[in-house]
């Protein structure tokens, strides 16, 4: 495992991949940047306000939320398009920085 570029208690970014902590009941999910097709910023306000209550799992069979007990205090989520039907959806403490890292690494 290489040194972290970004690390909080839910998400870790290093030079090769993003690690989503507590994604599965049994552990973390690792996604190589080369597997990410896109990153969408999803505001957790307005019509999406109820999504803050999704502490873990999926409520719509499209987005899969990792465990984040602090999601209620956050206003932005990142939806990762990895070419599958279910989109990993994360709420890092600094979403802007994580989005910038992922999009920068996607481009090479």
Start-to-end Cα distance in the chain: 19
What is the per-residue pLDDT across 46-99, written as a single tens digit (0 to 9) for each? 888 888 888 899 989 999 999 999 999 999 999 999 999 999 999 999 999 999
User: What pLDDT, on the 0 to 100 scale, is given for residue 47?
Assistant: 85
User: How far does Cα 102 stand from its chain's mean position?
Assistant: 10
Is pLDDT at 1 greater than 60 in this prediction?
A: no
Structure-token match 């039907």, residue found: 85
User: What pLDDT, on the 0 to 100 scale, is given for residue 52?
Assistant: 86
Check the CA dihedral 83-5-90-100 and report its sign.
negative
- The closest of 1, 54, 46, 16 to 79, measured between CA atoms, is 54
How confident is residue 2, by pLDDT bands cut at 50, 70 and 90?
low
Domains of the chain and any CATH numbers: 4-106 (2.30.29)
In terms of DSSP H, where are the helices of 1-108?
95-106
């Amino acid at each position: 495992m290489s040194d972290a570029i970004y690390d909080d208690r839910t998400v870790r970014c290093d030079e090769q991949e993003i690690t989503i902590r507590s994604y599965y009941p049994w552990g973390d999910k690792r996604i190589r940047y080369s597997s990410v097709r896109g990153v969408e910023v999803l505001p957790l306000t307005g019509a999406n306000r109820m999504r803050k209550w999704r502490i873990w799992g999926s409520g719509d069979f499209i987005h899969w939320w990792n465990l984040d007990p602090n999601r209620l205090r956050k206003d932005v989520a990142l939806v990762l398009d990895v070419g599958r039907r279910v989109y990993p959806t994360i709420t890092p403490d600094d979403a802007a920085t994580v989005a910038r890292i992922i999009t920068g690494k996607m481009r090479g």
